[in-house]
């Protein structure tokens, strides 16, 4: 009987104690905060890589308009040199000519895989694409 009263008093005293609450609150908030911060970094990396692929496609389109006799191999090589910060070997470039009436067009599509680096989440690779279509005027 005496032991129950002591345990009850200890429990009441423990509930009134406020020491350590900051550590508990921090432990609850830390995973959420890290997820938001790392998610922001990953979103920025995806946006940057997508923009880089679009930049490579558009620069290659400008090159194709200025050099109308350039071959698909030359355009592919040019696109891969305009991907700063990305691995050109991992990227694929598709050059598709077509025409509407008497106007010739060329479509340049640059595609590359994107791997996430969030350490505790297993995400499958994402495929990013940049595309442009330009007229070839002679």
The helix/strand/coil state of 43 is: helix
Report how far residue 16's alpha carbon sits from residue 31's, in angstroms, rounded to the nearest whole number. 27
Q: Determine what percent of the chain is predicted with pLDDT higher than 70.
A: 88
Query: Residue 136's beta-bridge partner residues?
Result: 104
| pLDDT at residue 78 tops 70 | yes
Question: Strand 103-114 vs strand 92-100: parallel, antiparallel, or unpaired?
Answer: antiparallel
Q: Which tokens is 51 given?
A: 């923009």
Q: How confident is the model at residue 13 (pLDDT cuts 50, 70, 90)?
A: confident
Rounded average pLDDT over 41-69: 95
Rounded average pLDDT over 48-76: 95
Select the more confidently predicted residue: 3 or 115: 115
**pLDDT winner (highest mean) among 12-26, 60-74, 107-121:** 60-74
- Give the range among 34-43, 89-98, 101-110 with minimum mean pLDDT: 34-43
Alpha carbon 66 to chain centroid distance?
A: 32
| pLDDT at residue 120 tops 70 | no
Q: How confident is the model at residue 12 (pLDDT cuts 50, 70, 90)?
A: confident
């Amino acid at each position: 009987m005496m032991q129950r009263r002591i345990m009850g008093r200890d429990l009441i005293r423990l509930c009134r104690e406020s020491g350590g609450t900051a550590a508990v609150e921090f432990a609850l908030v830390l995973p959420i905060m890290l997820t938001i911060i790392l998610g922001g970094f990953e979103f920025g990396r995806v946006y940057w890589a997508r923009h880089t692929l679009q930049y490579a496609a558009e620069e290659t389109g400008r090159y194709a308009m200025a050099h109308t006799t350039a071959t698909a191999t030359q355009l592919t090589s040019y696109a891969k040199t305009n991907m700063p910060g990305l691995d050109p070997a991992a990227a694929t470039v598709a050059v598709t000519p077509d025409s509407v009436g008497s106007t010739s067009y060329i479509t340049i599509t640059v595609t590359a895989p994107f791997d996430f680096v969030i350490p505790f989440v297993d995400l499958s690779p994402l495929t990013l694409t940049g595309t442009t279509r330009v007229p070839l005027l002679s």
